[in-house]
Structure 1
Amino acid sequence: MSNSNTDAQWNAARVADTLLTAERSRTARTSIAHEWPGLTLDVAYAAQDIALADRRSRGEVVTGIKLGLTSRAKQKQMGVDEPSVAWLTDAMALPAGLPVPRERLIHPRAEPEIAFVLGRPLSGPGVTAAQALAAVDHVMGAIEIIDSRYSGFKFTLADAVADNNSSGVYLTGPITRNVSEIDLSLEACLLEVDGDIVDSATGSAVLGHPAEALAFAANTFGARGVTLEPGWVVLTGGMTDAVAVEPGSRVAAHFTSLGSVTVAGG
């Protein structure tokens, strides 16, 4: 093994430990990439996997995956041309009716998403959107509560990947649909905060169609030797900009066909 590979592995472990420590202590920090220019996407994904191994050692179970930067506007803002992927575990699922667990989070923000639950294995490379959609058992509306470990949510793409795409918690709505029943590119969502509509979007905001996000995830994880498993939840990425979740607030996502998802700010 070359010294550069050894250094990259060591640095990935250091990055993972740094971010896990920030998460556990609820302490935001500055961009790692700005401190260490060697934080490439490969190292960031390695850090992500090391952090997942740590979570699993503490009893967490992988229950799915999540995508970030699936909005073209957000990609332009970040200066990138593709999304990123990260892990979901059972500890990140928020049961319906419970408030945002502020005691676990630094500065939570909410964004509405379209969520898939897989009905059969899905593995890249070469997965198309149509093939991805055929692997879906059902679709739901969701709210993801993201929580970056970086101050002010200021980070590079590699920073975000190493931080498991700003994972916090998520909740899904009570209504499920077969993907053949609705046009997901036209599925609309209104984002409400304390009774006021603050943003809106359709599923086309997610790479043109949420199935494109699922296909990207299958191909990206496939390159890492990972198969997306039946029963896994796939959060396809924020349809709108994320909004801050303040104590005592109420956030709701109202979908055309997928019902409403509501969470209290805690």
Structure 2
Amino acid sequence: MDNDVRLRVAQELASAYTTREPIAPLVQTHPGITLDDSYEIQQLQLRERLDGGAQVVGYKVGLTSAVMQRQMGVDQPDYGYLLDEMTYLENAPVPTEHFVQPKVEPEIAFVLGRDVSGPNATVAQVMGAIEYVVPALEIIDSRIRDWKIGLLDTVADNASSGGVVLGSRPTSLVDQDLRLAGCNLFVNGRIVGTGAGGAVLGSPLTAAVWLINTLGARGVTLRAGQVILSGSVTAAVTVAQGDTVSAQIAGLGTVTTRFV
């Protein structure tokens, strides 16, 4: 795929953000697309949004469960970026018209207290850079029609990112075994999913280390204050206007959002 085609695809995805009209799967319209193409298309969109005044506030890790990796035919996660305009306050109304076909995932989020970079960062170094951890709700969204996505589609589409709601109670990593942290996901007061931190690559910390080292190999340093979404601990649930969604994660507390 040459640069002109990559740019055209990036523009089509960017247009879907504003029109709320999804496009056909990229693997159908561009059969020769590669993973490098997809990440470059992701970066082209990022550069455009940064030029428009947006700021990177963190990154997300996707495809962290064994089930999703088998479904996508991959043996590693993917990643996307989080912008300031993608963040929503806990308990504040989230306009559904900001999204195309939203779903929600409960996640364990890390907030960095100092800069950290790969590609050879260790678990100890990453733990030392994390200031605190909070429960989070990631609003995933797809600009690909009917969520008919494969790895190359979702990477180009910023790892199907939509938005993020962070819990407001910070917790230290000290004495927290995030692998065993159980999660209950509720929609309108009804439990719709359960899981534990171990569903995320065996540990959410593993996801954070993978992200830092993968971005480091691309010359990206994560900065103090930035957020890492480590991956969903349950299956995603579809949401609509009027829904209230809460995630309760043992040891970390609860995070809630509502769609209007």
Correspondence for 1:184: 178
Shift in Å, 1:156: 1.2
- Give the letter aligned to residue 18 of structure 1: E
Q: Which stretch of the first structure deviates more once superposed, 34-43 or 164-173?
A: 34-43
Shift in Å, 1:174: 1.4
Alpha-carbon contact 1:11-1:43 (below 8 Å) kept: no
**What secondary structure sits across from 1:168 in the alignment?**
strand
Give, in whole Å, the separation in 1 of the partners of 2:190 and 2:90: 22
2:153 corresponds, among 150, 153, 159, to 159
Correspondence for 2:82: 88
**What secondary structure sits across from 1:110 in the alignment?**
strand
What are the superposed Cα offsets for residues 115-140 of structure 1, whole Å, 9 maximum, x if unpaired? 00111222111223333222111100
Shift in Å, 1:211: 0.8
Aligned-pair identity (%): 44
Correspondence for 1:116: 110
Correspondence for 1:3: none
Say whether residues 1:255 and 2:249 are aligned partners. yes
- Give the letter aligned to residue 258 of structure 1: L
Runs of 5+ unmatched residues, structure 2: none
Say whether residues 1:226 and 2:220 are aligned partners. yes
Give, in whole Å, the separation in 1 of the partners of 2:122 and 2:27: 33
Shift in Å, 1:230: 1.0
Correspondence for 2:2: 8
1:21 corresponds, among 15, 24, 35, to 15
Give, in whole Å, the separation in 2 of the partners of 1:92 and 1:175: 20
Shift in Å, 1:73: 1.4
Q: Which stretch of the first structure deviates more once superposed, 31-40 or 135-144?
A: 31-40
2:56 corresponds, among 54, 62, 76, to 62
Shift in Å, 1:8: 2.8
TM-score (norm 2): 0.96
Give, in whole Å, the separation in 2 of the partners of 1:264 and 1:65: 23
Q: Count matched residues.
A: 260
Alpha-carbon contact 1:63-1:232 (below 8 Å) kept: yes
- Give the letter aligned to residue 146 of structure 1: I
Correspondence for 2:259: 265
Say whether residues 1:103 and 2:123 are aligned partners. no
Alpha-carbon contact 1:67-1:237 (below 8 Å) kept: yes
Say whether residues 1:175 and 2:166 are aligned partners. no
Give, in whole Å, the separation in 1 of the partners of 2:40 and 2:213: 17
What are the superposed Cα offsets for residues 31-51 of structure 1, whole Å, 9 maximum, x if unpaired? 012221222111111111110
Structure 1 segments (4+ residues) deviating >3 Å: none
- Give the letter aligned to residue 212 of structure 1: T
Alpha-carbon contact 1:190-1:197 (below 8 Å) kept: yes
Give, in whole Å, the separation in 2 of the partners of 1:82 and 1:101: 33
Alpha-carbon contact 2:96-2:240 (below 8 Å) kept: no
Say whether residues 1:53 and 2:47 are aligned partners. yes
- Give the letter aligned to residue 31 of structure 2: P
**What secondary structure sits across from 2:50 in the alignment?**
helix
Give, in whole Å, the separation in 1 of the partners of 2:3 and 2:92: 39
What are the superposed Cα offsets for residues 20-75 of structure 1, whole Å, 9 maximum, x if unpaired? 01111101121012221222111111111110111111111111111110111111
What are the superposed Cα offsets for residues 153-192 of structure 1, whole Å, 9 maximum, x if unpaired? 1111011011001111111111111111311111111001
Give, in whole Å, the separation in 2 of the partners of 1:125 and 1:80: 21
2:189 corresponds, among 195, 207, 213, to 195
Correspondence for 1:133: 127
Say whether residues 1:235 and 2:229 are aligned partners. yes
What are the superposed Cα offsets for residues 206-247 of structure 1, whole Å, 9 maximum, x if unpaired? 100111101111111112111111110111111111101122
